Structure 1
């Protein structure tokens, strides 16, 4: 009887950095330092989940950003501009990513429960390897130690929304059946990654990029406020194809249990 064998987690907004503030705030700073050009935190959030060079490019292609860039510089953003912003972003992100290494509540208990079931724990991220290497010691110290983790620039084939990082996790974890794997993510590219790999997918509504809440806001807001944030995220994920939507990683065990029942009936993602 088939049962879940592996869960592959995104990092920021999924298991660490409630609200995914580490990358987004640094994007804002990198645009400002690189070109004295302002983008909003919300604009920085739009392409979250992509590799960081691709993320900068996607922000520059947002119509309102592109128009402001044209007005300020009299030309379109080009690849050399993206390189400049990326080269500004990288040292800032490496220096500050450890400041956003608190685990999202529930992570340790959920991962421990998965391990008790013999489930392998994988991870992948839109962070480049240099940033991931700066983050991992803090993650490990705080209690998240995946069996394998892939950075967006580890593979020549590229990152999200393609399936390569998820499939690399499967290969390294020795998992032979995509239908027994779950991809958990707080971004559209991350959900597409899991779907492209043929896995079950779980979208996180309140801990990640789309709601953009701090942990304090999540823990102190009334249900009306949380419902509005949840609805905002649900609109983003409405066409994502995600099999499940939950608030945070703390709600994952019930999803695993449900998928196990579906697998036992012969269902596939």
Structure 2
């Protein structure tokens, strides 16, 4: 087993999978029920990253109808089955994902999935792409701890893996991922092509990669010296 990193933690949407088209479709179906929308794919990409509930809140605000808390509860409850029916119709793996995960697994590096995505969606998508075996630890949006950009989800995943933050790397694509990793004291890799609303170079990553095919080489470069 390699000595460093002992673990790599991954975001999901925009990092391992490109789910924007399915999320976009479900979002516009939800808005259409109230005679609103549609919102554009680019707008929806900018809404992804802090959980489905937050996305619903942003979508209705963008469509000109901000929601109060009770309304948001109702609309989120409607969004769940709409998206559940559209989890893998258009979603694809991000470039390089399958090979990168296989290489880490072959090296004996522990992996965890840390995502604000609701739990109902995670298992089906992982199974669809045959990724389940790579993630013995999954901390999803229903884990009961504060979502990214708070560090709590990362700390929970590290605890389940039995790994210290200094011995792990977090791989994501967004400001929420960056702020979570910084707060947890972890090395941070950001992947281009995701859903960031800010330039990745401004987020303080240890390295920014074009795609997941570059990950294994980047981890070698990030290893502590001495």
Q: What are the ranges of 5 or more consecutive residues in structure 2 without an aligned counterpart?
A: none
Give the superposition deviation at 1:7. 0.6
Number of residue pairs matched by the alignment: 224
Aligned to 1:165: 153
Aligned to 1:178: 165
CA contact (8 A) 1:108 1:143 kept: no
CA contact (8 A) 1:16 1:100 kept: no
CA contact (8 A) 2:27 2:59 kept: no
Q: What are the ranges of 5 or more consecutive residues in structure 1 without an aligned counterpart?
A: 70-75, 211-232
Determine helix, strand or coil for the equivalent of 1:36: coil
Give the superposition deviation at 1:160. 1.0
Q: Which of the pair is proportionally richer in helix?
A: 1
CA contact (8 A) 1:139 1:145 kept: no
Query: Using the alignment, how far apart are the partners of 1:2 and 1:44 within structure 2?
Result: 40
Query: Using the alignment, how far apart are the partners of 2:107 and 2:152 within structure 1?
Result: 26
Aligned to 1:203: 190
Please say if 1:188 is aligned against 2:205. Answer: no
Please say if 1:152 is aligned against 2:141. Answer: yes
Query: Using the alignment, how far apart are the partners of 1:48 and 1:195 within structure 2?
Result: 20
Query: Using the alignment, how far apart are the partners of 2:13 and 2:77 within structure 1?
Result: 21
Determine helix, strand or coil for the equivalent of 2:5: coil
Aligned to 2:70: 80
Query: Using the alignment, how far apart are the partners of 1:36 and 1:23 within structure 2?
Result: 18
Query: What does 1:246-257 correspond to in 2, within 5 Å?
Result: 246-257=209-220
> Normalising by structure 1, what TM-score?
0.74
Change (3 A) 1:146 1:254: same
Deviates more, 1:4-13 or 1:35-44: 35-44
Query: What does 1:30-179 correspond to in 2, within 5 Å?
Result: 30-33=30-33, 35-38=34-37, 39-60=39-60, 65=62, 68-69=64-65, 76-100=66-90, 102-140=92-130, 145-155=134-144, 157-175=145-163, 177-179=164-166
Change (3 A) 1:102 1:118: same
Please say if 1:264 is aligned against 2:203. Answer: no
Query: Using the alignment, how far apart are the partners of 1:102 and 1:138 within structure 2?
Result: 10
CA contact (8 A) 1:48 1:189 kept: no
CA contact (8 A) 2:20 2:41 kept: no
> Normalising by structure 2, what TM-score?
0.87
CA contact (8 A) 1:56 1:85 kept: yes
